[in-house]
Amino acid sequence: MHDFLMVLDLVGTFVFAISGATLGVRKQLDLFGVLVLSFAAAVSGGIARDLLIGATPPVALAQWHYLGVSCAAGLVTFYRCDDVERLRNPVQVFDAIGLALFAVTGATKALAAGLGPMGAILLGMLTGIGGGMARDILVARVPVVLQSDLYAVAALAGAAVVVAGHWLQLPGPPVLLAGALLCFGLRFMAIRYGWQLPVAQHRRD
Amino acid sequence: MHDFLMVLDLVGTFVFAISGATLGVRKQLDLFGVLVLSFAAAVSGGIARDLLIGATPPVALAQWHYLGVSCAAGLVTFYRCDDVERLRNPVQVFDAIGLALFAVTGATKALAAGLGPMGAILLGMLTGIGGGMARDILVARVPVVLQSDLYAVAALAGAAVVVAGHWLQLPGPPVLLAGALLCFGLRFMAIRYGWQLPVAQHRRD
Amino acid sequence: MHDFLMVLDLVGTFVFAISGATLGVRKQLDLFGVLVLSFAAAVSGGIARDLLIGATPPVALAQWHYLGVSCAAGLVTFYRCDDVERLRNPVQVFDAIGLALFAVTGATKALAAGLGPMGAILLGMLTGIGGGMARDILVARVPVVLQSDLYAVAALAGAAVVVAGHWLQLPGPPVLLAGALLCFGLRFMAIRYGWQLPVAQHRRD
């Protein structure tokens, strides 16, 4: 079980890193910039969570796997960016897997650090969406997660399942699985059917 | 006294959240984005202060009031944004109250955490202005506090009064009140009379 | 030796602060905004490193020298910005000195906090480049360090020398000197000969 989670975690890291690297290539960053965006997109959510629960140094700096996997994803994207762009659809699916995994593991880690239900749900969501936000802020654009699609809400739902299961003292693994499946399912349906949140009706003067 | 401070703190949170939500609506974010901007504008200053003094998890994540009040402000603004825009003047006054309160409580908390006078003044100011800076960075615009108006200086002055009072071992409540009144007064006069800081004369080539 | 490092540290702080203030003046920020950019450019790298290793409050808030030196640099730049712009070449050289010094001291501090080799190299680099990234994000532009020039790689190389020396248990001072010289040398050559990293070939649709 633990090895399986580890593999999924590294797959999620790889796919998030690809999203960062792809944006870096489009923005004409140099090789170093592309690698920074890969790493930032992959680990910023987890680093923010670790800082907020006081777990220093963050796992992503203490273990080399995250940097290694992020740089591998960045290098592949840098040198084969057109191939990577052609794979957009499978990448979106893996991204949804990464989101689901990061949200449930983030919430679990926050609960273990003693946070209340609300804090744990927020940190689970932040673990999932923080990387994409950091990626976008680094290239000075409004984070896409604030603008469109059912993305953060899927992470929120997955994290909420984990917290509810903890509250009800249900056994851990099935709760994690249920949370991850709900998050992945919502995100997948949102991609498939274009589900979106409402945008405010604002009369421009 | 404590209850009164608590109420003012939540009023400040509500008003700061409205400033975030209003910007989110103008930038055409979706409902989730508007709520994130509400929460970020309301609590980022306090979260940054708590991280910098090592007080994890930050109060704003450990207690649900802040999220609750921020989301309430965000929902009101999202669904009634034209009404909220019409209330701009009262909102500015409440914003000045929030600024004053956040600056003096932020400086107090930093002193209690053992920071020296300079660090405590800086963290008091950061508690007051950090939310607005995070709000602006999230929509990729230069923080307004860096560009115009006597805003940060008012927070700085309020925090400095608190630190000076602590230095002189004056009793706490009147010092807090004096700091808050100075901050509010400066900010109010700046709005009323358009007080601004100088901008550098820079010959463009 | 310690006094000498202290002087170099403050020189680095001063020069980094000038780079922040110069950008603030160009972006037409007011006096407060220029001082914030000075301070952010000078200390953000060190503050991020201290947060990530759990050393709170960060040195830059606990000691007043950093704020004092940053504000002095900001005021000089604000009132004499045309003179400062004319000194661009010497400023670039001092900036390279600051980068070298911050990278090696950052890596040393991270090793002392118990980080592994990879984490220490990353944090050394971050100490060197974090200030410039914060400065650029605050004015909503893509950090220049992501786009051009051999800048971050020089910091990375300097930090790597420190970590390798620690690994081989070589004596500290000569290793620090070697790391700083390598970083400075790479950066100087990059300025002198326009060394750059590759940019991805991306077919725009």
ipTM for the whole complex: 0.86
pLDDT of residue C199: 82
Amino acid at B110: A
Q: What is the pLDDT of residues C61-84, one digit of tens each?
A: 988 889 999 999 999 999 887 777
Contact between chains at C138 and B140 (C-beta distance less than 8 A): no
Q: Determine the residue among A127, A148, A199, A205 to mutate to test chain B binding: the one whose Cβ has the most chain B Cβ atoms within 10 Å.
A: A199
Rg, chain A, Cα only: 17
Nearest alpha carbon to residue B42 among B8, B13, B72, B78:
B13
pLDDT of residue A42: 94
pLDDT of residue B12: 85
In a domain, B187, yes or no: yes
CB-based contact A29:A37 (threshold 8 Å):
yes
CA C166 from centroid of its chain's CA atoms: 22
Residue reference for tokens 């202005």: B129
- Gap between the Cα atoms of B25 and B21, Å rounded: 6
pLDDT-based confidence at residue B204 (cuts at 50, 70, 90): low
Q: What sign does the CA torsion over B41, B4, B94, B190 have?
A: negative
Mean pLDDT of chain B: 87
Q: How many CB pairs under 8 A join B and C?
A: 86
Instruction: Examine residue B57 and say whether the peptide bond preceding it is cis (omega within 30 degrees of 0).
Output: yes
Residue B84 has pLDDT above 80, yes or no: no
Number of domains in chain B: 1
pLDDT-based confidence at residue C94 (cuts at 50, 70, 90): confident
- Gap between the Cα atoms of C15 and A103, Å rounded: 42
Nearest alpha carbon to residue B9 among B119, B127, B155:
B127
User: Burial of B57 by CB count in 10 Å (0-12 exposed, 13-18 middle, 19+ buried)?
Assistant: buried
- Gap between the Cα atoms of B77 and B98, Å rounded: 18
Residues 6+ apart with CB under 8 A from A83: none
pLDDT-based confidence at residue B1 (cuts at 50, 70, 90): low
Burial readout B139-160 (b: 16 or more C-beta within 10 A, e: otherwise): bbbbbbbbbbbbbbbbbbbbbb
In a domain, A158, yes or no: yes
Q: Domain residues for B104?
A: 2-193
In a domain, C201, yes or no: no
In a domain, A108, yes or no: yes
With H, G, I as helix, E, B as strand and everything else as coil, classify residue A137.
helix
pLDDT of residue C171: 82
Residues 6+ apart with CB under 8 A from A183: A96, A99, A100, A103, A104, A128, A154, A155, A157, A158, A159
B134 or C203, greater pLDDT = B134
pLDDT-based confidence at residue B205 (cuts at 50, 70, 90): very low
CA A136 from centroid of its chain's CA atoms: 13
In a domain, A118, yes or no: yes
Contact between chains at A52 and B56 (C-beta distance less than 8 A): yes
CB-based contact A128:A37 (threshold 8 Å):
no
Residue B142 has pLDDT above 80, yes or no: yes
For the residues C187-197, what does the mean pLDDT come to? 85
pLDDT-based confidence at residue B2 (cuts at 50, 70, 90): low
In a domain, B204, yes or no: no
Residue reference for tokens 């609300």: A118
pLDDT-based confidence at residue B118 (cuts at 50, 70, 90): very high
B1 or B15, greater pLDDT = B15
In angstroms, what separates the C-alpha of A168 from chain C's closest C-alpha?
33
Residues of B in contact with A148 (CB under 8 A): 30
In a domain, B72, yes or no: yes
CB-nearest partner of B25 from A52, A147, A202? A202
pLDDT of residue B202: 64
In angstroms, what separates the C-alpha of B148 from chain A's closest C-alpha?
21
Give chain A's contact residues with B (Cβ, < 8 Å): 51-54, 113-116, 118-119, 122-123, 133, 137, 140-143, 145-148, 152-153, 196-203
pLDDT of residue C205: 45
Write the DSSP symbol of residue C198: -
Q: What sign does the CA torsion over B130, B176, B186, B10 have?
A: positive
Measured CA angle at B114 (ends B15, B53), to 5 deg: 50
Long-range contacts of B186-193 (CB under 8 A, 24+ apart): B186/B150, B186/B153, B186/B154, B186/B157, B187/B96, B187/B99, B187/B100, B187/B150, B187/B151, B187/B154, B188/B93, B188/B96, B189/B150, B190/B149, B190/B150, B190/B151, B190/B154, B191/B92, B191/B96, B191/B149
How far, CA to CA in Å, does A96 sit from each of A151, B36, C24, C172? Answer: 9, 21, 40, 47
Neighbours of A27 (CB within 10 A): 19
pLDDT of residue A144: 84
Q: Determine the residue among C18, C22, C32 to mutate to test chain B binding: the one whose Cβ has the most chain B Cβ atoms within 10 Å.
A: C32
- Gap between the Cα atoms of A51 and A71, Å rounded: 23
Measured CA angle at A79 (ends A77, A81), to 5 deg: 50
Residue B156 has pLDDT above 80, yes or no: yes
- Residue C156's closest chain A neighbor by CA? A32
Residue C24 has pLDDT above 80, yes or no: yes
pLDDT-based confidence at residue C128 (cuts at 50, 70, 90): very high
pLDDT of residue A2: 65
In a domain, C69, yes or no: yes
- Residue B148's closest chain C neighbor by CA? C30
In angstroms, what separates the C-alpha of B98 from chain A's closest C-alpha?
23
Q: What is the pLDDT of residues A65-75, one digit of tens each?
A: 899 999 999 99
For the residues C95-114, what does the mean pLDDT come to? 90
Positions of chain A with pLDDT lower than 70, given as ranges: 1-2, 5, 90, 148, 202-205
Residue C34 has pLDDT above 50, yes or no: yes
Residue reference for tokens 């203030």: C21
- Gap between the Cα atoms of C199 and A32, Å rounded: 9
Q: Which residues are bridge partners to C30 per DSSP?
A: B199
